[in-house]
Structures are given as C-alpha cells and as structure tokens.
Amino acid sequence: MLRSLPKLSPLLSSARTTNIPRFLANSLRFVSSAQTITRTKTSTGRIAMTTRAPIRPMSSSTVSSITAEDHVQQPKLLKSTDDDHDGVIVEMDQPMDAATFVLILRSSISHWKQLGKKGVWIKLPIHLASLVEPLVKEGFWYHHAEPKYLMLVYWIPETANTIPVNATHRVGIGAFVMNEKREVLVVQENSGHFRGSGVWKFPTGVVDQEEDICVAAVREVKEETGVSNLVALPIKSFLYFPSEYLISRQSHKSFFDKSDLFFVCMMRPLSSDIQKQRLEIEASRWMPFEEYSAQPFVQKHDLLKYISDVCSAKIDGRYSGYSAVSTSSSFSDQKYYLYLNAGALKSSL
C-alpha cells in the first residue's frame, strides 16, 4: 500500500477522476480539500502519514443560533385583550385537548397575575364545551350563557371579587293601540297567565336584545294581531316609566329570578285589519275603551286600574306621558334615548 502512495496524486486530478468510481473520486476530493496530508519517516525507515483538518473560526451567526437554541422555550399563553377594569377577555376558538389547555391556562393566569390583572373572562363557543369542566376545576364559575356561547369568569387577586353580576332585569312592554273610534286593540291569550280567564288585555311581550322599546311594542302588536303601520303618539309616548316619583311597575323574581320592568307605549294604527296569531292568541278585536276599563278583572287589580286611568287621562289630553328624546354621548357612537316629559321640561325652561 505504501508503494502505491505516489500513484494517488494523478488520481486527484480532474482529468483522471472519470476513470474511477464516482464515490471514490468524491472521497478523494474531500480528503484533499478538507485535510492536510503530512508524510514523516519513522526510525525504522517506514513512512507514516497523518492528516489534519483545517481549523476555521466559528461565525457570529452560528454562535447566535446555538445560543438561541440553548435558551429555555417560553410557555404558551392564551390570546387575550384587556378590558376597561384591569381584567382580560379570552375568546376561545381553536380546539384544544383538556390537558394542554390546563397547562396553558395556568401559565396565562400566572402571567396575568404578574401584570396586575384582576378578572378573567373566558368565552367558550358551543363547539368547545368540552373545556367547561377543566375551567370549573381550575376555579372558574359560570357568569352567563347565550345561544352560541358560555361565559366563565375567574378572580385573580386575593381581594373581594368585584366582577359585575349578569343582567338582572328583563324589560316587558304593553301596547296601548287606539283607533279614531276610541276603540283599543285587545287580545285573549291561549297560553300564559291569562289563559282561559276570558280577560281582554293589551298586546304584551318582551324586548329583544338591541331593540328599542317602542320598536318592540310595534313588533309584538304585529306578531299577535297582524296590525301594522303603527305610529307612536306623539313621539314614542310612554305612559309609564320606572321612577320612584311616577306610577310604574317593577317586580322581582319574575322570570328565572330576574327583576322585571314594564313599559306601556301608546300608538295609533294606520290600518285596522286583524289577523290574529294562532299560536299564542285565542282571540283579538277592537273594543271600546270604556268596555275594556269596565272589566271586573281590570277594576279589581290596582295595577291594571292605574294603567286604565292613565290611558284615559292621555286620551283626554290630561296626561302628557314621556317621550324618547334622541341624544348622543362621548362614550360611544351609538344612539341613546332619554325618556322624559319633554312638554313639561320645555314649559319649565
């Protein structure tokens, strides 16, 4: 083998590499380029060959990449937004297994605690209902539920919890609709409290979310009787408005322990055709106001009698009621309404 060493040098030339297998040629090129071959003669007369790889300085980019890899990976956190009261809001969307979610949740709460956050709101859509149990086990509790999501909350600091409770009131409406013949629109219900009582009453209902009170009154009248094209008198006049100084109706533990506010809105119909709703309404008709007021049920109950008396005063021009005055606020671009006695206010000014 030692005798063949002198013959290696021709093999390293580009002209001769085509005559040997490709893998051998590549290996020889690697040896010649990456190593320095040193021949030394030993005391016995034999030739010893050693190789030494060249030492190259490590680039700064290589150092930085290795350093970054050596760093401890930061824990994942839940994506959140700040609320106006030193809390955070998390809107979950992507599926996640319970074990992974708990680890990320604990890291997030620790992070929020360091930032001085207080309340945590986590909004879970229906398709992530499997995360409810892990959240409850971590100390979260139900706040409210809607058709498409469930809201859970958590209080971080060891102080009194100041997270506001869920909505406490439900808003109901009654529609006092009178035509030019001094007749009022009344219905008999085939479901609910007045079912089978024979009592004729105003169309009533519940205000939907993001719905103005008078809009709700118009909707309920149309749904129950088919009467549409209603005009508020004069400008969304209310016969009752909750106030300690006025006749009003506010009750508690009315609907799943919620309090109830009730408004009566007076309107004039532009058409008198009735098409009653068969699901909830047994009968509907136009009734002379005096006949409505004379019902024993109305005269027996103070609440209904007060409403009847106020309606009568409104018809005769002895009661002005309240009007919804559109206004604005620097807190939001949304419309706001103040319900007040605009005529009395104008006179006082």
The per-residue b/e assignment along 325-341, b for 16 or more CB within 10 angstroms, e otherwise, is eeeeeeeeeeeeeebeb
Task: List the structure tokens of 323.
Answer: 């009007």
Burial of residue 190 (CB within 10 Å: 0-12, 13-18, 19+) is middle
* Annotated catalytic residue, options 146, 158, 220, 223: 223
Q: How far apart are CA 201 and CA 194, in angstroms?
A: 9
- What CA–CA distances, in Å, run from 183 to 78, 131, 292, 300? 61, 57, 9, 22
- Quickly list DSSP for 199-224: --B--EEEPPTT--HHHHHHHHHHHH
Task: Write b or e for each residue in 20-45: b if 16 or more Cβ atoms lie within 10 A of its Cβ, otherwise e.
Answer: eeeeebeeeeeeeeeeeeeeeeeeee
183 is catalytic: no
Which residue stretches of 201-334 are H helix?
213-225, 289-293, 296-300, 302-315
Burial of 107 (0-12, 13-18, 19+ CB in 10 A): middle
Q: Are 239 and 319 in contact (CB under 8 A)?
A: yes
Find out whether 230 and 182 touch, Cβ atoms under 8 Å: no
The two tokens of residue 77 are 């956190």
Give strand pairing partners of 322.
238
Catalytic residues: 223
